[in-house]
Structure 1
């Protein structure tokens, strides 16, 4: 692993954790209101939009070879694929099977979009492994923390765990694709 890859993983974890914590805070403190106001589909759409907006802002500096607008487009397509794969699997299969299949499908779709967009199709399996491992650890560790603590503290803990690990996976992907140097990334 190169220094630039380590930097991308570390910065991806930190930056995406902040984005994730904001999204999970809306769940922790507003889930009931959002379901009542927007319905379940509307709430999930809002959370997806928040992840896309905040995630693209957080991670764009880790992709210096493309403009922020281009990165936002790539990330939007990738995260929409992730969200669709995850949500369909979860609502069709339910429970932990749906969560595992959702993580698999969603991460595969992100890997394909990033690999295609950056001209690295041969790296798709490697990018998928980074994403699937990191996302799954973060999501399921977060689920355990949520069950352990409950309430808003549990949900916020879930957001931190998911954000750190998924962000590290996204950072690993961008570190593999890009040459990320610490001094080039605005904190």
Structure 2
């Protein structure tokens, strides 16, 4: 059964998505920040990414469920969409492990995420524009996080003045900053996609 168009304005869904997903993202990136090294004997980077994806998959609906009208309906669309996005992004990253992989993962992941969500929610009208919007917001958040970590917290000028203990603290703050910016950008894009799906249904 298709849902009726929501009276919620786009800006409200963008804000809801950004703030809600930022909180989930901080929790997910905390795995990298606080426990990343513990995954070394248990699958390393792949296992860590799987754990991070698990946090996103498991907790996003608790904060973003209203975007789809209910938590159950949100998970119905979000779980397969984010799962496929995560797989595509990881394939691109592990294939290149550089900016090319990051951009390809963001582009392909945004397209797949948007189409799957909107298809499941009953309308693919305007899905390509929604995908482009998601790609832009996702990329803005992701690369803002990259900048915060490597050009602010872990910049050569900053590290030169820090002790070993302070460098570890700077790395932790850099990872959490990346999680915050990534969550804000991707979350705003998620809000846009779910809004477009509701309005078009």
| TM-score where L is the length of structure 1 | 0.88
Segments of structure 1 that go 5 or more residues without pairing to the other structure are: 180-187
- The residue number in structure 2 matching 1:106 is 109
Matched, 1:27 2:47: no
- Tell me the residue number matched to 2:61: 56
Distance 2:93 2:35 in 1: 21
What is the aligned residue count? 176
TM-score for the superposition, normalised by structure 2? 0.82
Runs of 4 or more, structure 1, over 4 Å off, are none
| Per-residue deviation, residues 131-181 of structure 1 (Å, max 9, x unmatched) | 1001000001101111121300101110111111111111111222236xx
Larger Rg computed on CA atoms: 2
Q: Distance in 1 between matches of 2:36 and 2:189?
A: 27
Note the 1:10-89 alignment, pairs <5 A. 10-64=15-69, 67-89=70-92
Q: How does 1:33-182 map to 2 (within 5 A)?
A: 33-64=38-69, 67-147=70-150, 148-150=152-154, 151-178=171-198
How far is the alpha carbon of 1:38 from its aligned partner?
4.1
**CA contact under 8 A between 1:57 and 1:72: conserved in structure 2?**
no
Tell me, which stretches of 5 or more residues in structure 2 are unaligned? Answer: 1-6, 155-170
Q: Alignment partner of 2:122: what SS?
A: coil
Native 8 Å contact 1:16 1:163 kept in 2: yes
Q: State the Cα RMSD in Å.
A: 1.6
Q: For residue 61 of structure 1, report the CA deviation from its aligned partner.
A: 1.2
Kindly provide the CA deviation profile for residues 47-105 of structure 1, in whole angstroms up to 9, marking residues without a partner as x: 111111122222111111xx422321311101011101100011112200000000001
